[in-house]
A and B are shown apart, each in its own frame.
Chain A
Amino acid sequence: MDADLKDDDAVSLRQRKAEVPLYLKRIKVYPRAVGGQWRRIKWAALLLLLGVYYLVPWLRWDRGPGAPDQAILIDLDGRRGWFFDVVIWPQEVYFVTGLLILGAIGLFLATSLFGRVWCGFACPQTVWTDLFMQVERLIEGDRNQRMRLDRAPMSVGKALRKGLKHTAWIAIAAATGGAWVFYFVDAPSALAKIFTGEASLEVYFFVGLLTATTYTLAGWAREQFCTYMCPWPRFQAAMLDEQSVIVTYQKWRGEPRGKQKAGDDWQGRGDCIDCSLCVAVCPTGIDIRDGQQIECIGCGLCIDACTQTMTKVGRPRDLIRWDTLADQQAKERGASAAWRPLRARTLLYGLLFGLVAAFMLAAFLSRSEAELTVQRDRSPNFVRLSDGSIRNAYTVKILNKRRSEQSFALALDGLPEARLGTIGTETLSSLVVHPDAVGTFRVFVTVPASAARAGSHAIDFVIRDAAGFVRASHGAVFIGPER
């Protein structure tokens, strides 16, 4: 064909009109209230999680004079983490890292077993959004009333309701931001200071920041956060398989769907009466009947909605239910597939969880209240003294994690002919370390010329307490001149 008679780039007017824009205004979701088993579980989770979050900083724990009496306190200035009777030093932050690793593996395990239970029940975004929606319902009414209110022109009544709602939201957001800083400062005194204007700039900044994020994310962004911002929905597919229990619409039973008048025959049609209640209650505004989709947070509210409807029309419940994809597909063929919770991936996640937990527990139980670190001077590696003997210098640090002054005796293993010395007034047989502090000492190890060995020689520094028990040891080397 002649090239002039061809124009692949031409776009018809109709096609242009059908163009979906590159950017879309958010279509607001008005979730309808629903009661039922899963809603009750969600309320229980909400009460528990928010209760823990708001109340924990107020737990008191008597540690005697000179120590904070807050049960859980992360003191950034003092560089200590207080967890009841456990005090974590900055160099032990790996306990926190370990908890985070446990949390991640636990999340993987829960997801491969039960889909997005974290998203649906425990994620802060879900919990606070739920709370904000409930406040909204109390002030503006349920789904239909809210839609009507939004469509109505501005009036005194509408302004009042909207104003009241946002005030309530900001109050909750401020309480949330406030509770956060209480984990880092003494809660009762900080609360008073915040209101009298005496708190530090950092405190006000973080209260403000978390107030703003809570208000924006739980009040305005809601499902947008899960759909567009959160990375978790993007890679959770890697943990899910056909044996994960997720929220499913039992297509084999529901289709063909259609409206149903009372008394009509159920023969030749599916159980879904297309009441759209499952869509109306969905906090992310999706239709679970479309199958698995990235927006679904697995909260189970559509299950509650469908259970209501099925009970009303007298059909068996569980048209929308927790199920595995494997079972759902089997049922389409008239069979059924038993759930297999023990699979390679769940076993692996479980094993990893157990290993990390056991490792952390062992590390925690063997955690010593005195630690010893030794740094050898490397410039110079060794010094030859005037009588020909060889001396190495070390910086010895003793960490006393107890809340009382302790005295340690420092000794050396592995170099019998060595002589230990120090500068200043300390004596190595009673190195005094202040309570909850690090003692730094300079230690010289001297070997007489006759016993000096060439090259590097492994030694151990050991500290013993007053009763003669070994409290900690640390490996080091002694270096002599090459011959």
Chain B
Amino acid sequence: MPTKIEKDALSGQDTTGHEWDGVKELNTPLPTWWVYTFYATIVFAIVYCVLYPSWPWINSHTQGLLGQTNRADLVRQLDAQAKDRGALVERIRSASLQEIRKDPSLLAFAMAGGRSAFQTNCMQCHGAGGAGNTGFPNLVDDDWLWGGKIDQLYATIQHGIRNADDQSRQSMMPKFGVDGLLTGTQVAAVTDYVMSLSGRGQATAEGAKIWQEQCAACHQPDGKGNQELGAPNLTDGIWLYGGDRNSIYRSIFYARNGSMPAWSGRLDEATLKMLAIYVHSLGGGR
């Protein structure tokens, strides 16, 4: 409400003439240059609106005269980054895994790049830290299905396991129960034998006999497995599908044939090498 401009009795200052519920405002004039800076910000905003994308429509927005987009900026930045890294990536591509591991600068680059590629492509199954999950091997421990040497890791990452790739790692465990190779009782007997391999319980003679006939070819007579065939070591404390009696029974009855995709067509050679070096460094590498 504009009311009367009056002199404030206490300060001797004029009021602005505005009053809200009896509260009056003293007029302390602002310097004009201050107001001009405010006008300048308005001019800036108008210029900005003309030059840059600013106003939303229903389906899109004004484009601005400069044609700037965040997506184009991102592409430019990614290109610049790829160019910056080009030399190192090329050295990684041409060097052998052993050479990379001996060169501190290449190793640091490969570890960072491998970690990043792992977080994008591998962690969905193997976990962010590589600890795996039931059915998805732990990459941090010292137990390997197909070998933990760096060249073996590299081959596994390149071609995968039990997929359509020509050089994919291949093997097949029979479905002993489902296909009628063994009866339920026989599976139970051999389950007891497998448990006895890691020092749990006593095996029957029947179980031992079935083991020698059906299992020892791949898992070896002593149960320590065969990395050529991806046959796991059954004597240690590490069980991909669970080590309790019920899980082992189910593994024999239904069989386990996990697969992993081949990455050589999806990721470039340098990234594959960086991944191998990173996974090897997680703690299990031989």
Q: Which residues of A contact B (CB under 8 A)?
A: 8-11, 15-16, 18-26, 224, 228, 377-380, 383-388, 391, 393, 423-425, 442, 444
Contact = CB atoms under 8 A, between A and B. Distances in A.
Contact of B142 (A23, A224, A380, A386): A386
A33 B32 CA distance: 28
B2 A386 contact: no
Contact of A9 (B2, B141, B142, B285): B2
11 contacts: A10-B4, A18-B14, A22-B29, A23-B29, A23-B30, A23-B35, A25-B31, A380-B131, A386-B237, A388-B236, A424-B107
Contacts of B238: 384-386
A18, A384, A393, A425 interface centre (most CB from chain B within 10 Å): A384
A385, A388, A424, A444 interface centre (most CB from chain B within 10 Å): A385
A298 B35 CA distance: 29
B5 A19 contact: yes
Given A23-B31, A385-B143, A386-B142, 6 more contacts: A15-B4, A16-B5, A20-B27, A23-B29, A379-B127, A383-B141
Contacts of B35: 23
A423 B148 CA distance: 14
B16 interface: yes
Contact of B236 (A377, A383, A386, A442): A386
Contact of B283 (A23, A228, A383): A383
Interface in B14-45: 14, 16-17, 27, 29-35
Interface string B157-174: 000000000000000000
Contact of A384 (B27, B29, B129, B141): B141
B5 A18 contact: yes
A379 B138 contact: no
A383 B131 CA distance: 8
A8 B27 CA distance: 20
A23 B34 CA distance: 9
B127 A19 contact: no
A386 B127 contact: no
A387 B238 CA distance: 9
Contact of B129 (A18, A19, A378): A378
A21 B283 contact: no
Q: Taking chain A's interface residues, is the majority helix, strand, or loop, or is none over half, making it mixed?
A: loop
Given A15-B5, A391-B283, A383 B31 contact: no
Contacts of A15: 4-6
A123 to B, nearest CB: 20
Contact of A25 (B32, B129, B143, B282): B32
B217 interface: no
Contacts of B107: 424
A379 B31 contact: no
A474 B162 CA distance: 46
Contact of A423 (B131, B233, B236, B281): B281
Nearest to B284: A383
- Name the 4 nearest CB pairs between A and B, nearest first: A379-B129, A380-B131, A386-B236, A24-B29
B47 interface: no
B128 interface: yes
B101 A424 contact: yes
A20 B7 CA distance: 11
Contacts of A16: 5
B140 interface: yes
A48 to B, nearest CB: 33
A423 B142 contact: no
B31, B102, B130, B233 interface centre (most CB from chain A within 10 Å): B31
A385 B29 contact: no
